[in-house]
Every structure is written in structure tokens, then in C-alpha cells.
Amino acid sequence: MKKKRIVTVAVLLIVVAGGVAFFAASGKPENVQWLSLPVARGNLDVVVTATGTLAADTTVQVGTQVSGTIARLYADWNSRVRQGQILARLDTTFLWASVEQVQANLQKAKVAEEQAKRTFDRVKKLFDRNLDSQSDYDTALSDYQTSQANVTQAQTALDQAKINLSYATIKSPISGVVISRNVDIGQTVASSFNTPTLFTVANSLSDMQIQASVDEGDIGSVRVGQPVTFTVDAYPSDVFKGKVTQIRLQPTVVQNVVEYTVIIDVPNPELKLMPGMTANLTIQIAEHPDVLKIPTTALRFMPPEQYYTDMMKNLPDSVKERIERRRQNGGREGFARNGGGQSSGQGNGQSFQNKELTPGSFFRVWVLNGKQIRPVRVRIGLSDGTNTEVDGDLKAGEPVVIGMLSQAGGQQNNPFMQRRRF
């Protein structure tokens, strides 16, 4: 393995030396201007951007289960309330009348029950002495049992009327702050199929959440626990932090774009954030600190075909044979010359497009030395699309070529042509 590595390094050195010798001997590089950007060292972050809406962690809509007129209000917008605290009270005039009516019905049912019991007791004594018929006994027993059922029914109606009366007092189900009041004193609310919402209470604004919409192309990179930073228009200079806590599976389609809702928990100790604010957020997918990074366009650059032809001519025959053998076996040592988007060195005929920016892959970049360029083999790592992490014989500040400009014709070489590897 060690011997094989030494041979590979020797091949690379010969390739580089041949390229440098070619550019030094040729006058053609003097007719072009190389476009370059420096190798940088720093942090490389891969992020997903999205927008979302801030909301309280828990929000409860407080309604009413009975109809009536608002008689009193005990809470207003932004009022802090405790669980069980009275928020409003309905007019109870009709509800009290209903309770009294049901109480009267209960009293009548009890009187009827007592009468039926006395009748049954009398008939039973006569029946036991064989002085009354079976028919009279059965009738008296049925009347007594019916009266007992009527008392139970009247008692249930009374309990229901009292419960409805208690519903006239609107209480807060949770402790928090009132963020919405939808009624005024004197307003009539009707409870039918849809319970009217009187108040909206948020449990606490010190802990909030963002409901963000993430495109389907990015949702595969989002994970629970990833850190999030975001800004709001109200405080453009402040950066707030949060964390992904839930990725909901229910998709939504907006203008033929599939999006998924991502829930982000946000601490709000200073109460700056308010429900309904729009958050412009950045989800951090991956981070590599203090790495060498180059413009991704440098991986797409390739000089004209004649550079490769002349470079191969200057290599020893043994090196040419080794490169050709590696190319035929699907290796990465050969120079790709197929302009149709496929590598002539790939045995399976796959296009490089299917393997672009795969961490761990090897690519060739070109470093500018004065007016000459030399190839450098690098292994790529993390990429954010604009910059790519690299590991190879590069130093921070060295210029890597991203294109070329002909001095004669003024035509720039396309930096987005097919990548070449070795």
C-alpha cells in the first residue's frame, strides 16, 4: 500500500512538473488573462433559509357554551390572567328562570311520587290479603315506578340548568396573557353549532415558536435539534436564536410548490417578539470550522483542450501508460477529454454530473503562478454551493483560476464547463 502511494505521488509530481514546463515553454498563456479568486480559510456553513410566523407556544380560544348577552367584562387586551380567573359574565336572567322552572317540575314530580307510593302501599296490603286483583296491583306498581323515573328526570334537568347557569361565568382555562378580545358589553353571543370565541389566551410569551414553511427540496436536510437564527423587521439589527423541535408530515402546496411546516422553539425572555411577526430564518444544516475553502466555480474550470494534449506529450511513456490504464479501469488518474459531459475515464459511462460535490471526491483545480497555471489535486468536503471545503496542496491566499479572458478576442472561457478530475 505504501509503495502504491509513493508511485501515485510520483505520477502527480510528474504531471504537475510537465504542466509547469509546458506553460513555461509555451507563449500562448501570454495571450490570455486568467480570472482567479483566492483560497480562503474560515468557517463553512451549509444553511437552509425560509420564512415563518411567530406564535405563542400554546394558544387557547375561550368561548361560551350558552347563549346570552355580555353583562360584565373582567379582562381586556394584554391582561395577564390566572387559570380559573373570571374573564366575563353573561346576563343570567333567563338562565335563573330556567333553573326555577325546573325546580318546580322536580317538586311536582316528587309530589306525584309520594302519591303513587301511598296508592301502591294500600293496594299491596289488600293484594296480600287476597282482597284486590292482580291487575290493580300491577297498575299501582307501574304508576309508582313511573313516578320515581319522573323524579330522576326532573333532577337531571335541574342539574343541567345549574350547569348552564355556571357556563354564564367565563373563566380562563390557563394562566397567561389575553392577546385577543372579540366581544363588548351588551353584545349578544349565540351558541349553536359553532362556539363563538370571546377571548384568545396565550399561555406565556416568554416561550414562543415559529411555524416555518420549508421547500421540499430542502426539507430532507432539516433535522430535529438543528440550531436556527432569525431576524424580524421590528428589530432588524437583532439576531434571535431557536431550535428545530418538529417537522410536520402534512404537506401544503403554494403556487405548485410543495412545502412542509417546521416548528422552531424560540426563547423570548425580553418579550420583544410578538405573535404574528414574520421571521426570516436560517437553519444551520452543517458547520465545519477553520477549513480551507475555494469558490465552487474553480472546480468547474478547465483550460482549452490543447493544454491537456501538450501536457500529455511532455509526460514519459511509462506515466502515459499508467494514466491510460487507470482511465480504462474507471480510475481518476486520467485527464477527461470528453466534451459531451461524460468522462472517457469512467468505465461505466456515468456522467460526472451525478457525482458533483460528493464529499470525499477528488477534483483538479488550477493555481495561478504569475502568468502560468498549474494543476493541483484536491479532495472536496462540505459545500454550500458558493464555496467548497478542500484538502490538498493549497495555501490560504493562493489564487485559484475560475475562468480565462482572451486578450486577442476578449472571449471569456466558460467557468461552468464540465469538471475534470485526476
* Model pLDDT for residues 402-417, shown as the tens digit of each residue: 888 755 444 444 444 4
In this predicted structure, what is the pLDDT of residue 345?
31
Alpha-helical runs (H) found in 314-381: 317-328
pTM of model > 0.95: no
In this predicted structure, what is the pLDDT of residue 204?
82
Q: Is residue 393 part of a domain?
A: yes
Let me know whether 258 and 275 are in one domain: yes
Tell me the per-residue pLDDT of 194-204, one tens digit each, with 9 for 90 and over: 778 899 999 88
Q: Is residue 422 part of a domain?
A: no
Q: Is residue 415 part of a domain?
A: no
Check if the beta carbon of residue 198 is closer than 8 Å to that of residue 169: no
Number of Cβ within a 10 Å radius of residue 288: 14
Q: How far apart are the first and last CA of the chain?
A: 19
Let me know whether 282 and 315 are in one domain: no
In this predicted structure, what is the pLDDT of residue 244?
96
3-class DSSP state of 299: helix
From 238, 247, 324, 343, select the one nearest 11 (Cα to Cα): 324
Q: Is residue 113 part of a domain?
A: yes
The neighbouring-strand residues paired with 246 are 263
**Taken in order 131, 137, 143, 146, is the CA torsion positive or negative?**
positive
Domain total in the chain: 3
Let me know whether 78 and 159 are in one domain: yes
Let me know whether 310 and 226 are in one domain: no
Let me know whether 229 and 270 are in one domain: yes
Low-confidence ranges of the chain (pLDDT < 50): 1-27, 29, 331-355, 408-422
Check if the beta carbon of residue 43 is closer than 8 Å to that of residue 403: no
In angstroms, what CA-CA distances link 199 with 85, 210, 276, 286, 421?
A: 13, 22, 17, 43, 66
In this predicted structure, what is the pLDDT of residue 148?
93
- Rounded to whole angstroms, the Cα distance separating 97 from 215 reads 58
Check if the beta carbon of residue 189 is closer than 8 Å to that of residue 196: yes
Check if the beta carbon of residue 286 is closer than 8 Å to that of residue 296: no
Contacts of 349 (CB under 8 A, 6+ apart): 342
Which domain range does residue 187 map to? 64-202
Q: Is residue 416 part of a domain?
A: no
Let me know whether 154 and 191 are in one domain: yes
Let me know whether 53 and 92 are in one domain: no
In this predicted structure, what is the pLDDT of residue 241?
94
- Rounded to whole angstroms, the Cα distance separating 211 from 354 reads 34
Let me know whether 174 and 266 are in one domain: no
In angstroms, what CA-CA distances link 326 with 91, 153, 256, 320, 344?
A: 91, 94, 47, 10, 11
Check if the beta carbon of residue 244 is closer than 8 Å to that of residue 223: yes
